[in-house]
């Protein structure tokens, strides 16, 4: 089959590779669409340490089942599917206690951090275990289904937060996951709902998706603007979707006393942390990792039109042109959002 292979850091090659063979509990999926995730773009140059070449990346995907492992049941050849990005063991303590995203020995599609390698979906075919599959509703296209993973990451973060209807909220970083956070919080009647980013085009899109207020930390005094709109209290829930020292500190600065900061982004492995502010103001800081069963709900929301994904797709391009699109995303081409590759 053909695949887009990370041969070396910053070197993507479209080439022939061996066809994958499903294990007894796996299915073979003919890939119809696979989105380029920001983590793939950052992983391409080796900076994250989670994509050691050679590797086929890609985990935001959808397709058609073409072959079944010997022990697979409940699925049929021809089923239109998407799948979780996390491959988790079913007999793990965390899985059995409802936290499969934290399970020991979990793996992620298209990732090779050193202790494992699992080729992903920038290829004509990919194998995945049957227990991470989700059937596509009839009205959800393959391209739309390739957007389910980042939307599910956003929904998981909101579920982690304990957000209540009508509370104030802010999203720091309005990339793909941040924009889904804005959409979902808007559906939950967050008020006021702030979007915070340094790019005006992203703030404009966040407003289109329901953010009431857009703020640029390079141009606005965040704390002053927030206090003026929240009875001088600060924000109930702040979702940080970047993962740098400055953005985490922004989140802690604008949250109210006793409020919650949910950390979703993780661009930086380590940061300096304002411990005293967190302690003396009793701020709750939560991490949110990946997804924990939110796929089905997101598929329903896309199917009903309540989550809008088409406007977030900048291009649908052939997999053979993938290296060029990776380069354009890596160079932060203005206005470029989600790019979906089609084998």
Residue 221 has pLDDT above 90, yes or no: yes
Structure confidence at residue 49 (pLDDT): 85
Cα dihedral 219→224→226→232 (10° resolution): 180
pLDDT bracket for residue 244 (50, 70, 90): very high
Structure confidence at residue 267 (pLDDT): 84
What stretch of H or E contains 237? strand 235-240
pLDDT per residue over 86-105, tens digit each?
A: 999 999 999 999 999 999 99
What is the domain partition of the chain in residue ranges? 2-147+309-342, 151-287
From the candidate CATH numbers 3.30.70.1520, 3.90.180.10, 1.50.10.100, 3.40.50.150, the one assigned to the domain spanning 2-147+309-342:
3.90.180.10
Query: What predicted TM-score, i.e. pTM, was given to this entire model?
Result: 0.95
Burial group, residue 14, by CB count within 10 angstroms (0-12, 13-18, 19+)? middle
From the candidate CATH numbers 1.10.220.10, 3.40.50.720, 3.90.1330.10, 3.40.1400.10, the one assigned to the domain spanning 151-287:
3.40.50.720
CA 250/CA 235 separation, integer angstroms = 12
pLDDT per residue over 129-143, tens digit each?
A: 999 999 999 999 999
């Amino acid at each position: 089959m053909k695949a887009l292979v990370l041969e070396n850091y910053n070197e993507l090659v479209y080439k022939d590779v061996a066809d994958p063979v499903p294990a007894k509990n796996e299915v073979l999926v003919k890939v119809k669409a696979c989105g380029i995730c920001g983590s793939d773009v950052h992983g391409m140059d080796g900076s994250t340490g989670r994509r050691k070449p050679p590797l086929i990346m890609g985990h935001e995907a959808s397709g058609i089942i073409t072959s079944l492992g010997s022990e697979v049941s409940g699925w049929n050849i021809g089923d239109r599917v998407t799948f979780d990005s996390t491959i988790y063991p079913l007999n793990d303590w965390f899985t059995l206690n409802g936290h499969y995203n934290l399970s020991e020995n979990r793996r992620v599609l298209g990732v090779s951090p050193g202790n494992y390698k699992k080729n992903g979906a920038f290829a004509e075919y990919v194998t995945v275990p049957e227990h991470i599959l989700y059937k596509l509703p009839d009205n959800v296209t393959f391209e739309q289904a390739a957007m389910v993973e980042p939307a599910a990451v956003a929904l998981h973060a909101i579920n982690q937060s304990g957000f209540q209807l009508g509370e104030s909220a802010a999203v720091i970083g309005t990339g793909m996951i941040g924009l889904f956070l804005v959409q979902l919080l808007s559906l939950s009647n967050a008020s006021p709902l702030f979007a915070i980013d340094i790019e005006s085009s992203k703030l404009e899109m966040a407003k289109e998706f329901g953010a009431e207020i857009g703020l640029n930390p390079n141009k606005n005094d965040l704390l002053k603007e927030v206090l003026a709109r929240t009875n001088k209290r600060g924000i109930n829930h702040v979702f940080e979707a970047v993962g740098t020292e400055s953005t985490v500190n922004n989140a802690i600065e604008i949250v109210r006393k006793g409020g919650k900061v949910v950390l979703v982004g993780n661009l930086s492995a380590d940061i300096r942390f304002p411990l005293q502010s967190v302690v003396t103001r009793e701020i709750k800081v939560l991490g949110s990792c990946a997804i924990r069963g939110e796929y089905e709900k997101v598929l329903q929301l896309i199917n009903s039109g309540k989550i809008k994904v088409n406007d977030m797709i900048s291009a649908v391009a052939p997999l053979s042109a993938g290296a060029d699109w990776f380069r354009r995303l890596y160079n932060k081409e203005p206005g470029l959002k989600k790019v979906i590759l089609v084998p």
